[in-house]
A and B are shown apart, each in its own frame.
Chain A
Amino acid sequence: MLKRTDTSDPSYYHKVVDCQYACPAHTPVPEYIRLIAFGRYTEAYLVNRASNVFPGILGRICDRPCEPACRRGRVAEQPVAICRLKRAAADFKDASYREHLPKIPTQKNGKKVALVGAGPASLTVVNDLMPLGYTCVLYDKKQIAGGAVAQQVPEFRLPREVLQEECQNIIDMGVENRLGTEVTSLQKLLDEGYDAVFLGSGAPIGRDLTLPGRQENAAYIQIGLDFLANVNFGHLKKISGHVLVIGGGNTAMDCCRTALRLGASKVSVFAPEGFDEMLASPWEKEDALKEGVHVVNNYLPQEFVAGANGLSGVRFQHLSSCYTAKKEFRPIPSGQPDLVLDCQMVVLAVGQEVQFSYAEPGLLALREGGRGIAVDRLTHQTSHPKVFAGGDAAFGASNMITSVAHGHAAAISIHLFCQGKDVAKDREKPSMTLRSQKMTLNQWAYVNDFSDTHRHHVPEHDLAERLNHLEAEVELGFDIGLALKETKRCLNCDVQTVFKEKACIECDACVDICPSMCLNIIEEPESEVALRAGLKIPAENLATDLFVATVPQTKKLMVKDENICIHCGLCAERCPTDAWDMKVFSLHLPKAGNL
């Protein structure tokens, strides 16, 4: 007998909300999009903030794992512009939002936590622990909070005031501010009597390329992370000539676009991988191309070539392929003659690494078979019970939203640990609530009408002019009209089709009306493979689940392919017995504050 779906487990419905499931911090995307649609921008911002802490920043620079996951991309062309809508919530919120930020008790709980590094992971921990009465001491080598986001994200992608506003909201919770103080010894820090220490020191070291000519031409070669920080802090204001960027990730794209704005006559980026294999987000590549960056693929650097007056160029080998099927870096030369590219400056954006020089050897166990320290994936605890880690420092360079998710998880652990509880076993399980959206006959509390409009483009700063203004933000954001139009494209995947099998009379009304033909009442086959193949539209996307229940009269199966449902509610609307209902699903993830 095939397994029947257990919808009492919150993970089933959670997975149906593709965007929320894909988001490391599990932001309830459809919920805030509906709030925007109702003009409730401040609430939309606060719903975001509860999950991802930095909606204004993430609304601009998030890696957007939600968008490729968006159901819209499967059933009606392009995904919803989720990230842009997040920014709209931040742009249109009013100042009263501050009244709803977490309240900080005047009576402290007597526990003291030190945070190493003031990036998104640490700030999230602070955000979660301060309302519980903790004393948080925030250390960073730099004078400003924000970590890599402050140091490396160019201003034309993230205006300083947006960054400052959201970081300052956390600092203003009453953090003991040690910005500008570098932690040089973890042991010393522990000796100061902290109840817990959180390591959020990021992956601040840009990788170098040890190729022939590296030493001789050092004056003309910069590490990407340092280049971006130098520009962000105003140390580097002008460059000239042909700038060559080596690398294929988002940092490389930022370096290219920054170089264009600093006065480079030409910017080229050389990546060993093919265009589609490049790690940079598709929209970052697109923006770079639009601004005139030359993207050249399948070239591996071999040598920095010196000329009479300094660097003359870089010699590259042409590759026929770069990665194996298992994504291992294994360049295979094509046999074509090497290419020497003339350039005046090289920026290396070939990866970044963690840095734990402040942790005394032996204090923390190291990660097996990798760089960095051993950190538990669930609890974020290191081998030292008092020391927790998150963000890029924990598992290597990732993205901001992942760091936020780490911060939330680590805050739970720190809170459990400080109360003497088990950081793994005493964690709460996720729970859910389901609220019916039925108002009356054929009326729903959500907008179920399907809009088949295309994804709306975000207005941008004039192409020629933006290159003359380093600080000019490229994306201008949706105006209210565009934002409202875009909200209509959301399919409300969190409004779940909830089936009460006992009430079903097998009249086929739901099966017949379903516009995506995702419902089936069929005889039970032998296997899930046969079941998937036998549906009206074969369920070929194995990443999405099938809902399976037994109907009472014929004992056949009610099967729903979650892959293509558009959550229009017509099944529930036509159901004469309310066996189907549309219920909005709210996922309650454990938070430090709920424990």
Chain B
Amino acid sequence: MFSINVPRLKSIPKAKNSLGLSIDDYKGAPSTLCGGCGHDSITQAIVEACFELSIVPHQVAKMSGIGCSSKTPGYFLREAHGFNAVHGRMPSVTTGAYLANREMKYLAVSGDGDTGSIGLGQFMHAIRRQLNMVYIVENNGVYGLTKGQFSATADYATTNKKKEKNGWLPIDLVGLALELGASYVARAFSGDKAQLVPLIKGALSHKGFAFLDVLSPCVSFNNHQGSSKSYQHIRDKREAAFDAVDFVPPAKAIELDYQPGMQERVQLFDGSQVLLHKTDHSYDPTDVEKALAYLRQAKAKGEIATGLFYVDSSAEDFHTVYQTTEGPLRNLEEVDLSPGQVVLDKINDALR
């Protein structure tokens, strides 16, 4: 907690978005995380992305499980809906919510423990079912709430704060998401909002399962030498497939001036585009094989690959596959739910 409430200053000329809201309208309660936590930067990046996209706060459902990361939905979009699920069970709760109301934006925040350990099975099935949601993992490689044990994403042979070595190989959530068919897969770093904010905007505009693995240093337990998830280490080893990213809203997408070869644009479902600045000319973000190969190569070189690895804007989502009703269930009238004897007879006849 802070010593004071964060004041809202009316005389400071803060910008307004197309809804007439200021960035302060997208904030939440003060963070109770340690000062300097990467998660707070991701919170701010979500606030900035939602503000800039003029997202209507109450049309968002913030989903989370348990952990430092899963506390953060309290710190953004105070006007939004939210559900804080049991540890690792956020994906199934989101599945239920998405079944009931397909029109809301599902913005899920989880951690490497909530997703990589206790909730790994749930995570995999949410991808497999192509929920139309944004799934952000705030990945710091440690269990911060229980004072810094290695998590399942901690790299092999890195050390904890007491200089003990990790003897296990890490789970690569990005690789897993690509294998299981997530249709928007990216990795970013909490300390680089210039890359992170456009990636979140792209994820929010994408239709299908958008996965963001965000490296988020834990300043209290995992920001030392020997850690592969410290601010310094990530900055030293980061290699971006695309060194910067721009998000271009639908209205401006037409006038976009881009240089083929150097840049790549990816069309999203709603007409907006993600503009990628390539550092590797051969990279193709629509080819999942190349994405996997790129990740393996970076890993072999000891580099941390970041950027938007893969996008498939044509992927079918959960409701299309299931052929569910078009709107949210709450909109169904009695006549829809109980269409009467004539319809029942028709069905019965078809089964005779």
- Mark A residues whose CB is within 8 Å of B: 74-77, 442-444, 448-450, 452, 505-509, 511-513, 515-517, 537, 553-554, 564, 566, 568-570, 573-577
Contact = CB atoms under 8 A, between A and B. Distances in A.
Contacts of B3: 442-444, 448-449, 569, 573
B165 interface: no
B232 A513 contact: no
B40 interface: yes
B14 A509 contact: no
Nearest to B193: A508
A347 to B, nearest CB: 41
Contacts of B11: 74-77
Contact of A515 (B9, B35, B36, B220): B9
Contacts of A444: 3
B110 interface: no
B40 A512 contact: yes
Interface string B290-319: 000000000000000000000000000000
A471 B41 CA distance: 62
Contacts of A566: 7, 9
A535 to B, nearest CB: 12
Nearest to B23: A517
A558 B191 CA distance: 14
Interface in B4-25: 4-14, 23
B235 A537 contact: no
Contacts of B251: none
Contacts of B44: 508, 511-512
Contacts of B34: 576
Contacts of A77: 10-11
A76 B41 contact: no
A505 B232 contact: yes
Contacts, number: 101
A444 B1 CA distance: 14
Interface string B213-235: 00001011001000000011001
B12 A507 contact: no
A537 B24 CA distance: 14
B322 interface: no
A537 B40 contact: no
A575 B4 contact: no
Mostly, the A contact residues are: loop
Interface in B171-197: 190-191, 193
Interface residues of B, number: 34
A507 B9 contact: no
Contacts of B232: 505, 553
A575 B14 contact: no
Nearest to B30: A513
Contact of B12 (A443, A516, A573, A575): A516
A75 B10 CA distance: 8
Interface in B21-56: 23, 34-38, 40-41, 43-44
B6 A570 contact: yes
Given A76-B11, A512-B44, A564-B12, A507 B231 contact: yes
Contacts of A564: 9, 12
Could you say which of B38, B220, B231 has the most chain A C-beta atoms within 10 Å of its C-beta? B231
B235 A553 contact: yes
A541 B14 CA distance: 15
28 contacts: A75-B12, A76-B11, A444-B3, A449-B4, A450-B4, A450-B7, A450-B9, A452-B7, A505-B219, A505-B223, A507-B190, A507-B191, A507-B217, A508-B40, A508-B44, A509-B36, A509-B40, A509-B41, A512-B43, A515-B6, A515-B9, A537-B12, A564-B9, A573-B35, A574-B36, A575-B36, A576-B35, A576-B36
Contact of B36 (A76, A452, A507, A537): A507
Contacts of A452: 7, 10
Contacts of A569: 3
B6 A577 contact: no
Contacts of B220: 576
B45 to A, nearest CB: 9
Nearest to B232: A553
Contacts of A513: 2, 6, 40
A389 B279 CA distance: 71
A360 B177 CA distance: 96
A76 B6 CA distance: 14
A471 B25 CA distance: 54
Contacts of B23: 517
Contact of B9 (A75, A449, A553): A75
B223 A537 contact: no
Identify the 7 closest CB pairs spanning chains A and B, nearest first: A576-B36, A450-B7, A574-B35, A512-B44, A507-B36, A576-B219, A449-B4
Nearest to B41: A508
Contact of B35 (A74, A448, A509, A553): A509
A120 B8 CA distance: 43
Given A509-B36, A515-B8, A442 B1 contact: yes
Nearest to A538: B13
Contact of B219 (A76, A507, A537, A554): A507
Nearest to B231: A505
B111 to A, nearest CB: 17
Given A516-B9, A566-B9, 9 more contacts: A77-B11, A508-B40, A509-B37, A511-B44, A513-B6, A517-B14, A570-B2, A573-B35, A574-B40
B233 to A, nearest CB: 10
Contact of A76 (B5, B9, B13): B9
